[in-house]
Amino acid sequence: MSREPMNLVTFLARAGVGSRRSCDELVRSGAVTVNGETVTFPRQKVAEGDTVAVNGDPVALRDVRYVLVNKPRGVASTRSDPHAERVIVDLVPDGRTLFPVGRLDVDTTGLIVLTNDGVLANRLMHPRYGVPKTYRVRVHGKVTRRALASLREGVVLEDGVTAPADVELRKQSAKTALLDVTIHEGRKRQVRRMFEALGLPVEELHRRRYGPLSDKGLAVGEHRGLSTDEVDALRRAGEDADRAMAAEVEGDPLPLAATDAAGGPSGASGDGAA
């Protein structure tokens, strides 16, 4: 079955060149050719069989998938785990071809993206410049103003002070408290460690938002494919990470997520914030 013609900027985004915003700029700059002719109109139609090149290098559409999963408790957020009854890729049809973007603890519920787009996954999992992630947290104890201030200013952990978090105390009862916390890093078990350092052990933890994505309408245990607009928003988040990395002082290494034997991003490193 032949493919319907699509806008050039959409073609470039689906080929993994960048977000539609960055691809729009690339086309207007004169860096893109179609069948050997320079095209500066981003909505130029590209038909099946057309040859598209960026700065002289041919690009092609990729067979990529992007799936959002609301992970249940008891499921490991890796492709394989001999100690877990279930792994997250088994929640999605043909999920064994996908890789989790970051990870959540077995006892943590919430959003994880599965994809076979290794470039985007590695950008999103960068440990220092990860996309913002919002968690609903239930802790044991009373959350004081001092504790809230510490979360908002940075909590001292064994691997350094955390970046400021956005925190909203939603409910305080006699023994527990409910909060929404947004962090911008991806350290291992970061949210749990932040609260433990303040004497507030975490009883329940759920990731409600991952960058532009939310769990609205997606029950725990369910999954859905991402729309073109959602994938584009994730690409923009990844590009923001790239720009932040480029601004680093030379000599300050920033390791990207590892890859496994299959050549894709591994779920065992990177964004392990919960």
Q: What CATH number does the domain containing 160 carry?
A: 3.30.2350.10
Q: How crowded is the C-beta side of 22, counted as CA atoms within 13 Å?
A: 20
Residues 135 and 233 in one domain: yes
Q: Is residue 257 part of a domain?
A: no
Mark the ranges of the chain whose per-residue pLDDT is less than 50. Answer: 249-270
The predicted structure's pLDDT at residue 123: 79
CA atoms 254, 248, 125, 256: torsion sign: negative
Q: What is residue 250's predicted lDDT score, i.e. its pLDDT?
A: 42
Which pLDDT score, from 0 to 100, does residue 186 have? 79
* pLDDT confidence of residue 252: 43
Please tell me the predicted confidence (pLDDT) of residue 255. 39
In this structure, the answer to whether residues 71 and 52 fall within a common structural domain is no
Q: What is the dihedral of CA 121, 127, 128, 134, to 10 degrees?
A: 80
- pLDDT value at residue 18: 82
| Domain that includes residue 39, residue range | 6-59
Give the gyration radius of the chain's Cα atoms: 21
Residues 199, 90 share a domain: yes
Q: What's the pTM value of the predicted model, to 2 decimals?
A: 0.76
**Among the listed residues 92, 72, 142, 130, the one whose alpha carbon sits nearest the alpha carbon of residue 256:** 130
One domain for residues 25 and 51: yes
Which active-site residues does the annotation give?
A: 105
- Residue 168, SS3? strand
pLDDT for residue 3: 76
- Indicate whether 217 and 89 sit together in one domain: yes
**Which residues are CB-contacts of 208 (< 8 A; sequence separation ≥ 6)?**
110, 111, 134, 135, 136, 180, 214, 215
Confidence at residue 143, expressed as pLDDT on a 0 to 100 scale: 97
Residue 17 belongs to a domain with what CATH number? 3.10.290.10
pLDDT in tens, 215-227: 999 999 999 999 9
Phi, psi dihedral angles at 89 (to 5 degrees):
-70, -20
Our count of domains for the chain comes to 2
